[in-house]
Amino acid sequence: MKADVLPLSLPGVMLIRSTRISDSRGSFAETYVRGDFAKSGIPNDFVQDNQSVSFSAGTVRGLHFQIPPFQQAKLIRVLRGRIFDVVVDLRHSSATYGAHVSVELSAGGGEQLFVPAGFAHGFCTLVPSTEVFYKVDAVYSSAHDRGVNWLDPTLDIRWPIAPTEAILSDKDRVLPLMNELSAIFE
């Protein structure tokens, strides 16, 4: 693989930095080669691509996940702008249950974040007109769509935006706290 794959503090969560080739025209990078990803410990078969555009800095999306049998692993990258990206471990049997990791992803840096199933994911845009692209290994199912409140105090996430200034969907404003979730992922 023409990339560095760096394990983060939560088991299975990985930061991927693809090699960029630059010249006077711009740059080129291979962002996904299935066989190379499998050799690096990411054997997932991605079946759906998603893309979001957030017009304003301070837009928060998440913390989202899907329950079985539609649980999703995600491969996230930023096409334009920058985000503060957060992953929370929801696996009850895990030593890191309830822990989170955060990273900054940017179009300029070209990083990707791999999030296995069993984790909640969300992000906050750091600049206007931010565009995020992500692959998932299970199709979207509204009946299996769930989330955790981004401001849950037990998570102790240091978001880069004041709660009163964040832009959220009505759905994301009322997501439950961690202690209100049943044991979904063992």
Arithmetic mean of pLDDT, 152-173 = 97
> pLDDT per residue over 53-80, tens digit each?
999 999 999 999 999 999 999 999 999 9
Residue 41's alpha-carbon distances to 48, 78, 104, 124, 129, in angstroms, are: 20, 22, 22, 27, 33
Q: What percent of the chain has pLDDT over 70?
A: 99
The CATH class that applies to domain 3-21+30-178 reads mainly beta
Task: Specify whether 134 is catalytic.
Answer: yes
Residue 182 has pLDDT above 90, yes or no: no
The pLDDT score that the predictor gives to residue 128 is 98
pLDDT for the residue 3: 82
pLDDT at site 186: 78
Mean pLDDT of the 132-143 span = 97
Report the C-alpha gap between 100 and 157 in whole angstroms.
Answer: 8
Hey, what amino acid is at 97? Y
13 C-beta neighbours (distance < 10 Å), count: 21
Q: What value does the mean pLDDT take over residues 124-131?
A: 98
Active site residue 97: no
Q: Do 5 and 32 contact (CB within 8 A), yes or no?
A: no
Give the pLDDT band of residue 127 (cuts 50, 70, 90). very high
Q: Is residue 1 predicted with pLDDT exceeding 60?
A: no
Which range, of 31-35, 105-109, 133-137, averages the lowest pLDDT?
Answer: 31-35
Give the amino acid at 70: F
Q: Which of 32, 64, 92, 121 is catalytic?
A: 64
What is the number of other CB atoms lying within 10 angstroms of the CB of residue 120? 25
Q: Which one from 92, 134, 140, 144 is the annotated catalytic residue? A: 134
The span from the CA of 18 to the CA of 31, in Å, is: 6
Q: Is the pTM of this model over 0.85?
A: yes
Q: What does the domain layout of the chain look like in residue ranges?
A: 3-21+30-178
